[in-house]
Structure 1
């Protein structure tokens, strides 16, 4: 990459950052990918030519070509002589949109709408941090699994779960591929009562990136949940990495006024939008 290209990339005002350490071709691909997934570039639409991308982003022809090749490798576009680069059908898949507080209902709907592939299933001694979360003695046996959830053949999320072994031995890897884990816990006799959930940002490791069909280091939605039964016992610790282009949380807000002034108050939407985002099979 030449010094001239670096300068042009910074001066073009397109959001490229030559000092970030991220290759410019990947930055261009990320911007174009976002436009495709948001619907700004519709299915069947021809994207700008490599020459036009060079002019718009202030990059070289080689950089423009590598950006387009990256999109093609992800199946978002098709490239051919004479037609150019075309957005493929289904590239802008409608995302799951779920309420933050209706998580039990969301899990049930997710199980009906998606397919699950179990990558790992086994028993091991709990690492210290996991044992602390599950209120277990350090080294206690736990059941650990890794699954990938997909819709229509497109990977949606990476799930890692830890369950106390006395509960985990009541179901098999085949069961986990067929039913939501929450249902399996209830079948085992766990009476689910509460959960603590956090939502943050995460990055795709090479293993996760390969499973979800994204670039290593891609931003993901990181959801962690600790589920307890009616006695307050932790029965499941789950970490879920979602593709943010295919999954998002929604919240309804109402403006209310009281003696302390006006404020926003959250409320549950009357209907879970996930049911409308992707129809039942």
Structure 2
């Protein structure tokens, strides 16, 4: 009977149901993206991976092949596995509350592809968010936003039909949606945003260039106009290796004692755009 693969000094979770080769690839991917393995550096050989992780040669090879398929490494006989140039990309870093201010810059630094655009009856959850009757007509679009040819985010947007008919799919591919809403006479006044974790479904994984089931940042945003009417409900899935939220905290005193207050971080090169709506 074949024995299950053991785990070495770098322990893998053999009970998780996640293939061991994918777990090894995830660990090595994190090291590459963090800069622990520099561009041009040779990664451990398959034999060394076997020793480090306590896995078989087949598992080690599949892990390396996964990294190569993602463009993070190149493999050549006699040279080994080398980290590719540009593998450790600097992530976009934005403040949680600064998305409106970054919309204009976003349009200059990223590109968008409109994958789907049309009208349909609102699902119950969407109708509830937009304050519509269940089954009311809404516009739904799916877009993918990229930077230098690398996918950053998957955007699914729902708009009340009367607003959505003021622009086309071509418009969405050329301008940020916020600008299109304002062009239609919508006065954006407020938004509620939630941030959690999500997993890449097959269609999303293919569009973002990640493995199915990969962890993603899941951002939901409900935008309202000056009259309090919900005018946009958007779900955005970000690649966490290329996009992150940040805030600066200051310790201040108060009547009830010291507390932390958040400040928006300075806008550096990576914060110059927020690939949002």
Distance change in 2, residues 1:245/1:232 (3 Å): same
Superposition pairs of residues 1-281 of structure 1, within 5 angstroms:
2-3=2-3, 5=5, 8-9=6-7, 12-271=8-267, 274-275=270-271
Distance change in 2, residues 1:276/1:127 (3 Å): closer
Distance 1:161 1:256 in 2: 39
CA deviations over 1:187-245 (Å, ceiling 9, x no partner): 00000000000000000000100000000000000000000000000000000000000
Quote the offset at 1:109 in angstroms: 2.0
CA root-mean-square deviation: 1.6
Quote the offset at 1:152 in angstroms: 0.7
Distance change in 2, residues 1:142/1:164 (3 Å): same
Distance 2:136 2:273 in 1: 41
Question: Secondary structure at the residue paired with 1:261?
Answer: coil
C-alpha contact 1:204 1:216 (8 A) present in aligned 2: yes
Query: Which structure is higher in RCO with an 8 Å CA cutoff and minimum separation 6?
Result: 2
- TM-score using structure 2 length: 0.95
Distance 2:2 2:185 in 1: 64
Distance 1:272 1:100 in 2: 15
Distance 1:152 1:260 in 2: 49
Alignment gaps of 5+ in structure 2: none
C-alpha contact 1:224 1:237 (8 A) present in aligned 2: yes
Distance change in 2, residues 1:20/1:48 (3 Å): same
How many matched pairs?
A: 274
Distance change in 2, residues 1:277/1:95 (3 Å): farther
- TM-score using structure 1 length: 0.94
CA deviations over 1:7-57 (Å, ceiling 9, x no partner): x21xx2424101111110000000000100111111111000001111111
Alignment gaps of 5+ in structure 1: none
C-alpha contact 1:39 1:92 (8 A) present in aligned 2: yes
